[in-house]
Structure 1
Amino acid sequence: MNYIRTGLLLAGLTALFGAVGMMIGGQQGMIIALLFAAAMNVFAYWNSDAMLLRMRSARQVDDKTAPELVGMVQGLARNADLPMPKVYVIENPQPNAFATGRNPENAAVAATTGLLKLLDRNEIAGVMAHELAHVKNRDTLTMTITATIAGAISALANFAMFAGMFGGGRSDNNNPLGGIGMILIAILAPMGAMIVQMAISRTREYEADKIGAEICGHPMWLASALNKLDKGVHAVPNMDAERNPATAHMYIANPLSGKGVDSLFSTHPNMANRIARLKAMTRPSGGNAQGSQRGPIRQPAHVAKPGRSAGPWARKSQTPVAKGRSASRQRKRPWES
């Protein structure tokens, strides 16, 4: 189903490229736009994940530079029966995270420094499990291609505005609508990018929440994280996302701070509804519960309440061994390698 949706999305974006090319340069412009769209589709499939990570200035970390975070993701990936994805940290004060990659074998998860500072270890595990759920459901292919080509659509608006200002009134211009057509493109192309965001169903976030809760084994970890993220994204603007709103649908929480139009075209469900669904997955007895499991999801190790630490992206601190209990009997936490 994800492949069909991706194919339909690419076909729609290709048609949009052709229509815009026709308005800018007539039949010749349409042919050039279609060739450019075909090249973009191939490029997006193979390179969009790397490009998006570069756009966010993401820094890859490993078990030496961020042992706790990498160890956590490694444990959760085992629970989800997924290959170990690459792990990135983004220097951004807004708490947020996303996953990218064309398939589980070439996936990456990224978290902002704002998220790593705001959430405790259990909540970070819930967020990382949500992102791994996107990888497991193969949502990342749709998200990365959408973000890449939607950004190209927005770029066409700038080109159209430039052409309208400096060449729209020339008699030898192939544009059938002249300067008016250029103005229309400049206005409608960004709206097309927002429509692309709407094309990504909001239900994928609900499904990722559900599968993520199953992966980490504790729905309330993710519910607590979403509650903090809902407040954090509104308190701290994400200027990178504001400059390129076509990538907003990739994040676990909508990074855009605007109201009105942003809310209307948002691809994220209401956060309160997401939290309510996660709470419904908890057993009536009040214990930590899982939803109905998909496949052989292994129960993760117990996680104690976190104390103060430099954060899971820092070097692992030595935990003292309790008296009367050997180190070998201590349970490893999901973020420990």
Structure 2
Amino acid sequence: MAHRVIPPDDPKFPAIRKQVLINWLKTLTGYLGMGLLIFLALWAFDFTYRFQLGFGLVWFILPVVMWWFSAKVALMMTKSKPADPNNPQHARLIKIVDRVWAESGLKFKPPVYVSENPLPNAFATGPIHRKAVVAATEGLFLTGMNDDEIAAVFAHELGHVKNYDVGFNSFLSILSMIFFMITDAGVRMVMGSISIFKRILGMNPKNRGFFTGILEWVIMMVIFRITGMLTRIVQMFVVRSRESGADATGALILGKPCDLATALQKLVAYVEKNRPKGRDRELYRAIRPMMTIDPLFDSMVEDKPANLWQRLVRFWKYLQLTHPPVPERVAMLERMNGGSCPAPQFAGTGEDEDHSAPDHVCSCGGGHHHSH
């Protein structure tokens, strides 16, 4: 291998290293936030862990199973197949990934897969370095990226592998399940201890009226909605920090933050002209965490809220994003570069061209989970 990362005497090294550390601190903050939610739930309900062990184990085991089989699940969902060395574009991709892997310091070279999906994307997944895989869609070749920009995208993906991001996200899912189960058991206990609910819950089932069932259902749904929003906000905070962390790790591997900056802008330029619609839109909503950028919402033009309400709405939407907005990512990459990056140049013209995709036929299947 050539080297693990750019050397410390590289002018960009301090800024890139700083961003790597900042994003690890953000991840730690997210984990502490989830731990705080669990602690507050235990404190508020003042009880030890007494729920059905069998039911609880199912929800603990599920994220572990998804983590261990993450590569197989992701490849199946995206209908990805091993890259064909006889296909010129696939051969180009294999050569680029080999070059990035040689710079990454990873011991095991991940196999390269390709999906026929026309929407541009690349992803890496796998529970451990030995089982990692990387993949791209055919749509990635339609964006006008040059080899250096594609290399930067895969440096980002191998950054996810180096950082064990699939494992971190899966463990966070386990913590969110713990919080949910504590809250569920606690709310039921509290409802049973309050006189009105004691009377309702203590009724003979034959005497319970329609109102009783509706009241229980409404209260539980409100509680679950609130706990769901809290865990979602914390989870998305961590996921975004790992995305930014992969951007920084990719820059640390290749030492070229601007290559990823222009690659992201080319991805957005393409996706803005080819947004998924109808049924495809709903499918992509489910697999947004597997994308390099958000195919439904990312744009290079940031909304400028005109009043406080619009700012609050924008902030609320931001809290639920799976990726930092591309302008935010580009700004971070430019800070690591020590100055502005050049505008993206599309092959053949040097200008932004109209890169239209064929009608979307989503080959992604359903479900989700990985690191993009």
TM range (shorter): 0.5 to 0.7
CA distance in 2, matches of 1:192, 1:251: 23
Q: Percent identity?
A: 34
Partner of 1:220: 258
Give the 3 Å change call, closer, same or farther, for CA 117–171 of structure 1 in structure 2. farther
Is 1:40 the counterpart of 2:95? The answer is no
Partner of 1:71: 95
Asked if 2 retains the 8 angstrom alpha-carbon contact of 1:102 and 1:144, the reply is no
Instruction: Map 1:70-89; keep pairs closer than 5 Å.
Output: 70-82=94-106, 83-89=108-114
Within the candidate set 279, 288, 292, 1:248 is matched to: 288
Within the candidate set 83, 98, 107, 1:61 is matched to: 83
Partner of 2:302: none
Is 1:275 the counterpart of 2:330? The answer is yes
Asked if 1 retains the 8 angstrom alpha-carbon contact of 2:236 and 2:319, the reply is no
Asked if 2 retains the 8 angstrom alpha-carbon contact of 1:48 and 1:144, the reply is no
SS at match of 1:35: helix
What one-letter code is carried by the residue in structure 2 that aligns with 1:256?
Answer: L
CA distance in 2, matches of 1:243, 1:40: 22
Within the candidate set 267, 275, 278, 1:229 is matched to: 267
Within the candidate set 97, 101, 125, 2:151 is matched to: 125
Partner of 2:310: none
Give 1:43 shift.
Answer: 1.0
Give 1:138 shift.
Answer: 1.8
Taking structure 1 as the reference length, what is the TM-score of the superposition? 0.60
Is 1:179 the counterpart of 2:225? The answer is no
C-alpha RMSD of the superposition: 4.8
What's the CA shift string for 1:170-205, capped at 9, x where partnerless? 9489x9964325644785586467335424153333
CA distance in 2, matches of 1:212, 1:110: 16
Instruction: Map 1:1-337; keep pairs closer than 5 Å.
Output: 30-65=52-87, 66-82=90-106, 83-122=108-147, 123-143=149-169, 171=205, 178-180=216-218, 183-184=221-222, 187=225, 191=229, 194-195=232-233, 197-238=235-276, 242-243=282-283, 245=285, 247-257=287-297, 262-282=317-337
CA distance in 2, matches of 1:49, 1:255: 21
SS at match of 2:69: helix
What's the CA shift string for 1:103-125, capped at 9, x where partnerless? 22211222222222113233211
Asked if 2 retains the 8 angstrom alpha-carbon contact of 1:101 and 1:107, the reply is yes
Give the 3 Å change call, closer, same or farther, for CA 181–232 of structure 1 in structure 2. farther
**Alignment size in residue pairs:** 267
Give 1:73 shift.
Answer: 0.5
Give the 3 Å change call, closer, same or farther, for CA 176–106 of structure 1 in structure 2. farther
CA distance in 1, matches of 2:112, 2:104: 16
What one-letter code is carried by the residue in structure 1 that aligns with 2:101?
Answer: A
Asked if 1 retains the 8 angstrom alpha-carbon contact of 2:125 and 2:161, the reply is yes
What's the CA shift string for 1:243-301, capped at 9, x where partnerless? 474643343212333995543411422322322332344467999xxxxxxxxxxxxxx
CA distance in 2, matches of 1:227, 1:286: 11
What one-letter code is carried by the residue in structure 2 that aligns with 1:276?
Answer: A
What one-letter code is carried by the residue in structure 2 that aligns with 1:253?
Answer: I
CA distance in 2, matches of 1:209, 1:281: 10
Give 1:76 shift.
Answer: 0.6
Give the 3 Å change call, closer, same or farther, for CA 96–286 of structure 1 in structure 2. closer
Asked if 1 retains the 8 angstrom alpha-carbon contact of 2:284 and 2:295, the reply is no
Runs of 5+ unmatched residues, structure 2: 1-20, 43-49, 178-203, 299-312, 350-372
Give 1:206 shift.
Answer: 2.9
SS at match of 2:114: strand
CA distance in 2, matches of 1:133, 1:212: 5
**Higher RCO (CA < 8 A, seq sep 6+):** 2
CA distance in 2, matches of 1:286, 1:181: 52
Give the 3 Å change call, closer, same or farther, for CA 286–110 of structure 1 in structure 2. closer
CA distance in 2, matches of 1:250, 1:148: 19
What one-letter code is carried by the residue in structure 2 that aligns with 1:112?
Answer: T
Partner of 1:321: none
Asked if 2 retains the 8 angstrom alpha-carbon contact of 1:233 and 1:254, the reply is no
What one-letter code is carried by the residue in structure 2 that aligns with 1:99?
Answer: A
